[in-house]
Structures are given as structure tokens and as C-alpha cells.
């Protein structure tokens, strides 16, 4: 089995990140090795788990979404060819082995005897269909854009050819966006005039059960799962938009887990003897950005002016209660290519005013900031106050999550606030967010296009030496920050809280937590 060079580096980073994130009441970071009840006394184990989240699933179709809430449930129901372990190692999933035939060709030997949830056999036909479908999807095509062809050599062998050497290939194939779906089931649904999201069928540990939009999404254990059997029999993802209400629901036992405790509640939660916590710096970056095609943000000096006007320390103090790291570039500090010396826009109101004058807006202007959710609405209010100091008046548009993603994926918005987490592979935060081919719903909602940057992004992907890649991505950071495409705000120090008796949850340094092996001792 051949692993890419990047995974060796990621393994070290993941381990350091995990060790740095532990608190005194650290959660076990490994799942049970048994899928049976034999080691537990009968009658005192609860296996229906409830997770409290802020926003609903957008779509359980792996190839029609690109958001954290959808990924959470897709990860339970679907498998990819490979997966990235919490130590950063690429490991077998639906592909039991693989080899690099050349710099542009990988051959995957598929696992035999795997069943989809509907009883259909998993074969190479499903892999070819799924990856080709992903390549055509506006929302997730960027992760496989380097693939030239996918062919079935026989029922259980697939060859993937890339247009050029592509360093992130195995990592990208481990993502939920690269999940394998049942091609026959898709054809049946299409013939019946239905969408895959209405009845998602994968090979994962859990089976789709029900979805009540903006209330809860529920999955149940799949008895025919090919891998380690799940401990949970049912997992419900419950939508609780208001952050303090999620904390209360956790404290009263209505839910078992909150993935990110609101900063104001952290001391209370950490002192609660009925709960246990796990603390780590998130790889997710929260940022504000502009529609660079729309005036006045087609003017780089305007973007630079607003970048100088943001008091990031105040935002961290108010929103995160200090539980965050200030961001001055597009990558989180845990990223191998993070440039800690890059700080082009320290808080400077006078410089911001001067840049606005140079841009031709001495009297400022009026803009809209679109956002979704309680926390980001509060961020928008702080930006509103900051921008008022330089004569820029802000109207805040607060939208439901799905509608919000549709809106900022179009061309009508002006500014928006969102987060992005792509693990430790720098291309995962670069191609979808800054490449010209990714404008719109794929991720580049800034509609930023720069031919020189595109060339650098392509060079970064096709360079196999990690040291060389790091230098390329430092240059990418410099260009995007000089062009002020984003206002990076912070990487939050996340506190995950849960019922003290919950066991088996696998904590991920990239917030891709695994719940299927969870249970509660009662």
C-alpha cells in the first residue's frame, strides 16, 4: 500500500494537535474495538445518541453539498475509497489496497462482498459512476478536477488517471464529497422522478431513517456493514439554532453532545460534573469576504481599507471570550504552509480612511453583509460598528442556512461571513476558495479570478515534494492577502462537551468527529 508523502507530515501535525488539545477531563479518543454487548452488563447501555447542532443538513447527497452539517451525516451513511485517520494516515476503506502505477495513474483494488443499504452489491461500476458524477457537480467537482479518467478494469479493480501529477489525490478521495453511491439505486430514483437526497443509499455504518427539515436528521445502524459494527443503534442530529439553548439541552440531558460550546458557556460547562469536555484549536477559519465582481469591492483599495478597519482582538474577546487565535492569512496555524509572519492589515482606522480616499470613496458608502446563525450575526454587528468608524454603513441580512448558501453562491451578494475547514491539506483551502474555476457555489463565493494565482495553485497540486509545496502555498497566501480577497478573523479554540458517560466517540483534529461507535453507560 502506497501512502503519499504529505500523510507522513500530517501524522506528526495531527498528533501534536491532539496532545495540545487535551483538558484535565479529556475524552477518550479511540472507539471501542468490539461491536457487541458482550463486554458490557446488560440493561445499562443506551445506544441512541443525540447530537445538538446550530443548523440543518443542506443535502445528504454527497455530490450535492459542501457544508459541515451535511458532511456530518454523510460520513455516517457513506464510505469513500480510502479514509484519512485521525493521525493523518490514509487507510483502506472501499479500496482494500492501491498502488501508484506512475505519477499520474493509481490502481485501486476494491473490497469484495460489500453491500449497499438496499442489498445491492458494491462494484467498480459504482466507483466509476460516483467519481464521474462528482466531476460534473458544481459544488464538489473541485476535489476531483485533476482526474482525467476513471475506468473499471474488472468488477473489483479501478484505475484513476490524472491530467498531471496530483499530490492531494488520495486525501481528496478520502473526503465525504468523494463518497461512493449506488449507481443502480440512482438510476431507479431518477426513473421515478426522485432525487438521491430523498432516499440516500450508501455502504456506511448507518442507514438513513428520517429527515424533518430544521428539526432533526436520524440514521440507524446497518446490520450488513462490512467494517467494524457500530455501537450506536440510532443517531439523531437535532437542530437547535440558539447557542445557549444547545448548552441548556446538554445540561438537562436532552442531547448528548455539543461540538462547539459557545464561549460564554465554556466555564460553566467545564465545571459541570455531569459533563466532560475536549478542547482543541479548530482547523476551521472564520472569515468575512467580498463579492469582488460587485462595486465597490471590485476596487482592491476598498477591500484593503475594510481589512484595516476590523478590530479582530475585540471580535475574539466578544464572540469567543478569548477562546480563539487571531487570523491574518487564509490558512489556520495547524496547516503545514501557514505563514505566521504575514500580517498585512493590522487594525488601523487612519490607514483605512486614507485607503478609502485613494479608492475614490472619501465619504464612504452603504453595503450589505449577509450571514446566517446567531454567532455570525453578532460578528456582523461588530463589523457594522467597525466600518461605521470609516463612513461605511452596513445593513445586515440574516438568512436561514440553506438559503444563505444559495444566496452567497450567486452574484447578488456584497459581503458575507462564513467558515471553512479542509483538514491539513493546503489545496483543500485553496482550489475551492480561490481558483477561477471554483467561482460560485463550489466555494469561491468571492468571485475572485487571478490567472497568476491559478497557475500557482496548479503548481502546488502537481508538485510532489512537500517542502517545495510549502513555499508555493506561502506565495499563494501573500497574493490573496495583498489582494484582500478575505478578512480572516479567527480560528476558534473549540470545546466539545458531552454527557460524562458517553464513550466511543472518536474526536477528530479536523472536527470530522465519528459518532457511530458511541454509547452511553447509564
Residues 441 and 475 in one domain: yes
Give the pLDDT of residue 422.
Answer: 66
Residues 176 and 299 in one domain: no
CATH code assigned at 464: 3.10.105.10
Establish if 264 belongs to a structural domain: no
Establish if 140 belongs to a structural domain: yes
Residues 87 and 188 in one domain: yes
Boundaries of domain holding 413: 282-492
Residues 515 and 412 in one domain: no
Percentage of the chain with pLDDT > 90? 75
Pairing of strands 365-371, 415-420: parallel
Residue 191 has pLDDT above 80, yes or no: yes
Residues 334 and 437 in one domain: yes
Q: Smallest Cα–Cα separation from 73: which of 169, 258, 210?
A: 210
Residues 38 and 128 in one domain: yes
Establish if 210 belongs to a structural domain: no
Residues 296 and 196 in one domain: no
Residues 58 and 175 in one domain: yes
Establish if 167 belongs to a structural domain: yes
Residue 511 and residue 494 in contact, taking contact as beta carbons nearer than 8 Å: yes
Query: What's the pLDDT tens digit per position in 112-133?
Result: 999 999 999 999 999 999 999 9
Kindly report the length of the chain.
522
Instruction: Quickly count: other Cβ atoms within 10 Å of residue 237's Cβ.
Output: 24
Residues 378 and 350 in one domain: yes
Residue 308 and residue 346 in contact, taking contact as beta carbons nearer than 8 Å: yes
Of 81-95, 139-153, 387-401, 419-433, the one with minimum mean pLDDT is 419-433
Cα 473 to chain centroid, rounded: 20
Establish if 474 belongs to a structural domain: yes
With 0.85 as the threshold, say if the pTM is over it.
Answer: no
Give the pLDDT of residue 335.
Answer: 82
Residues 53 and 137 in one domain: yes
Residue 55 has pLDDT above 70, yes or no: yes
Q: Residue 479 corresponds to which cell in the numbers above?
A: 497574493
Establish if 174 belongs to a structural domain: yes
Establish if 222 belongs to a structural domain: no
Cα–Cα dist 288/269, whole Å:
29
Average pLDDT score over the chain:
89
Q: Residue 46 corresponds to which cell in the numbers above?
A: 443506551
Establish if 404 belongs to a structural domain: yes
Number of domains observed in the structure of the chain:
2
CATH code assigned at 60: 3.90.76.10
Residues 441 and 510 in one domain: no
Query: What's the pLDDT tens digit per position in 291-321?
Result: 999 999 999 999 999 999 999 999 999 998 8
- Which element (helix H / strand E) includes 433? helix 431-434
Cα–Cα dist 25/361, whole Å:
53
Query: What's the pLDDT tens digit per position in 155-174?
Result: 999 999 999 999 899 999 99
Residue 455 and residue 436 in contact, taking contact as beta carbons nearer than 8 Å: no
Give the pLDDT of residue 3.
Answer: 35
Residues 6+ apart with CB under 8 A from 220: 206, 207, 209, 233, 234
Residues 433 and 517 in one domain: no
| pLDDT (mean) for 450-473 | 93
Amino acid at each position: 500500500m502506497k501512502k503519499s508523502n504529505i500523510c507522513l507530515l500530517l501524522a506528526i501535525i495531527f498528533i501534536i494537535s491532539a496532545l495540545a488539545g487535551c483538558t484535565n477531563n479529556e475524552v477518550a479518543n479511540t472507539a471501542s474495538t468490539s461491536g457487541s454487548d458482550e463486554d458490557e452488563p446488560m440493561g445499562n447501555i443506551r445506544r441512541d445518541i443525540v447530537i445538538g447542532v446550530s443548523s440543518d443538513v443542506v443535502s445528504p447527497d454527497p455530490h450535492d453539498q459542501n457544508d459541515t452539517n451535511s458532511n456530518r451525516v454523510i460520513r455516517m451513511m457513506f464510505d469513500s475509497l480510502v479514509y484519512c485517520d485521525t493521525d493523518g494516515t490514509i487507510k483502506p476503506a472501499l479500496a482494500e489496497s492501491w498502488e501508484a502505477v506512475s505519477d499520474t495513474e493509481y490502481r485501486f483494488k476494491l473490497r469484495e462482498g460489500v453491500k449497499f443499504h438496499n442489498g445491492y452489491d458494491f462494484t467498480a461500476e459504482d466507483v466509476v459512476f460516483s467519481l464521474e458524477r462528482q466531476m460534473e457537480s458544481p459544488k464538489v467537482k473541485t476535489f476531483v478536477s485533476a482526474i482525467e479518467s476513471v475506468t473499471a478494469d474488472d468488477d473489483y479493480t479501478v484505475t484513476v488517471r490524472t491530467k498531471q501529477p496530483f499530490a492531494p489525490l488520495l486525501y481528496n478521495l478520502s473526503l465525504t464529497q468523494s463518497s461512493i453511491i449506488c449507481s443502480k439505486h440512482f438510476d431507479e430514483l431518477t426513473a421515478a422522478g426522485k432525487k438521491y437526497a430523498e432516499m440516500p443509499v450508501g455502504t456506511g455504518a448507518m442507514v438513513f431513517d428520517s429527515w424533518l427539515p430544521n428539526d432533526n436528521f436520524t440514521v440507524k445502524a446497518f446490520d450488513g456493514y462490512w467494517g467494524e459494527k457500530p455501537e450506536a443503534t440510532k443517531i439523531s442530529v437535532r437542530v437547535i439554532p440558539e447557542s445557549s439553548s444547545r448548552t441548556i439541552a446538554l445540561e438537562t440531558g436532552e442531547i448528548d453532545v455539543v461540538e462547539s460550546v459557545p464561549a460564554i458557556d465554556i466555564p460553566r460547562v467545564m465545571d459541570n460534573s455531569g459533563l466532560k469536555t475536549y478542547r482543541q484549536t479548530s482547523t476551521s477559519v472564520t472569515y468575512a469576504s467580498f463579492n469582488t465582481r460587485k462595486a465597490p469591492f471590485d476596487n482592491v483599495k476598498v477591500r484593503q481599507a475594510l481589512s484595516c478597519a476590523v478590530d479582530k482582538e475585540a471580535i475574539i474577546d466578544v464572540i469567543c471570550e478569548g477562546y480563539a487565535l487571531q487570523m491574518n492569512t487564509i490558512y489556520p496555524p495547524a496547516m503545514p504552509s501557514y505563514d505566521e509572519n504575514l500580517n498585512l492589515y493590522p487594525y488601523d482606522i487612519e490607514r483605512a480612511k486614507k485607503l478609502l480616499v485613494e479608492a475614490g470613496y472619501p465619504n464612504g458608502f452603504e453595503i450589505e453583509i449577509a450571514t446566517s446563525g446567531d454567532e455570525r450575526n453578532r460578528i456582523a454587528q461588530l463589523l457594522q460598528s467597525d466600518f461605521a468608524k470609516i463612513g461605511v454603513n452596513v445593513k445586515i441580512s440574516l438568512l436561514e442556512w440553506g438559503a444563505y448558501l444559495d444566496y452567497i453562491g450567486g452574484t447578488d451578494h456584497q459581503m458575507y461571513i462564513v467558515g471553512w475547514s479542509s483538514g491539513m491539506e493546503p489545496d483543500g483551502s485553496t482550489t475551492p476558495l480561490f481558483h477561477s474555476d471554483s467561482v460560485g457555489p463550489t466555494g469561491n463565493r468571492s468571485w475572485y479570478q487571478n490567472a497568476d494565482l491559478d497557475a500557482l495553485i496548479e503548481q502546488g497540486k502537481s508538485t510532489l515534494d512537500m517542502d517545495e509545496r510549502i513555499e508555493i502555498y506561502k506565495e499563494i497566501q501573500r497574493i490573496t492577502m495583498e489582494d484582500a480577497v478575505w478578512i480572516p478573523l479567527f480560528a476558534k479554540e473549540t470545546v466539545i462537551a458531552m454527557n460524562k458517560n458517553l464513550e466511543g466517540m472518536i474526536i477528530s483534529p479536523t472536527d470530522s468527529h465519528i459518532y457511530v461507535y458511541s454509547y452511553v453507560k447509564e
